Every structure is written in structure tokens, then in C-alpha cells.
Amino acid sequence: MPAPRAARQPLYTPQERLRRDQSVWTLVQGLLAPVQFFIFLGSLGLVLRFLFTGNGLEIANASVVLKTLALYAIMVTGCIWEKVVFGRYLFAPAFYWEDVFSMLVLALHTSYLWAMYTGTLSGAPLMYLALAAYATYLVNAGQFLLKLRAARLDYAASKQANLQPLGGNGVAA
């Protein structure tokens, strides 16, 4: 029989959860994330259209630039959110690996901008770089969705623990 798994630490302390819930940056992140995702979907369609047909390079490039600007906006506001909630701009223990992977996402998107503006890459090679950047973005978005799910499960567990009847010794039964 396998050994029982060690309980995972909650994502937020009660104080961090309170700061998260009271911060305007939580709302900003909640609005920017789906906006960035819809920009990504449109851009992905334009990039793939160019790769399949050879048409629409300029609009595909413009869409990747727009996606990258949205990424920068969510990263900057995310750093502010992390500072408000956890007291540091990046690499708070609760989001360490998400932040590490975010650096790769930023590096690939920024490499795209550099390659496009310097002419180092163009056409299909540039679009393949965009696809690499988008693949890392999808992984990173998945990481954050898993954290959101963990936070919701933590909240539900804490509510459940608070509803447990107390035993005779004052401890939840």
C-alpha cells in the first residue's frame, strides 16, 4: 500500500488571501488574462493562415506584436499584484515555477519582436518563432489555471473545516 501523500501547503495564508481579495490588481489580472487569451486565439489563426497559404504576413506580424504587448501588460500588472499579495515582485514561493516559466515566455515573445524589427527572421521562420512563443504561453497559462483551481480547492477546504462541529476538546471533529 502506498504511503499517504503529505498535505500540500495552502496557496495563500489568510493574510495573503485577504490582500489578494482586496487588491484592485486581482481584478486587473482577472480581466487581462481572458483578453490576452482571445488576442492569442486570433493571432494564432492569422499565424497559421500565413503558414498554410503564404498570405497575410503583415497582419500576422501585427497580431503577434499585439499579443506581445498584452503579455507585457499582464506581466507588469502581475508583478505588482505579486508584490501586493506576497511582498515581492517575482518568484514568491507560491508562484515560483510559474514565474520561472513566464521568463521563458517573455524571452520568446521578445525574441520575436527583436527578430521582426531587425529583419533577422521573416516569413515562415518568424512565424515558427511565434508558434514556439505561443506554445510556452499555453503551458504557462495552464500553470496559472492549475493555481487558480488549487486556490479554489483551498478555499473550499477552509470553509469545510470551519463548518466541522467541534469535539468535546474544542478541536474540529
pLDDT of residue 149: 86
Contacts of residue 85, Cβ cutoff 8 Å, sequence gap at least 6:
12, 16, 19, 20, 23, 92
Query: At which residue does the C-alpha cell 499565424 appear?
Result: 47
Q: What is the mean pLDDT of residues 72-85?
A: 97
Query: At which residue does the C-alpha cell 502581475 appear?
Result: 78
Contacts 24+ apart (CB under 8 A), 17-21: 17/155, 19/84, 19/85, 20/81, 20/85
Among 50-59, 75-84, 155-164, the range scoring the smallest mean pLDDT is 155-164
**Cα–Cα dist 149/61, whole Å:** 34
pLDDT of residue 154: 76
Percent pLDDT > 90 in the chain is 76
**In the chain, domain spans:** 14-142
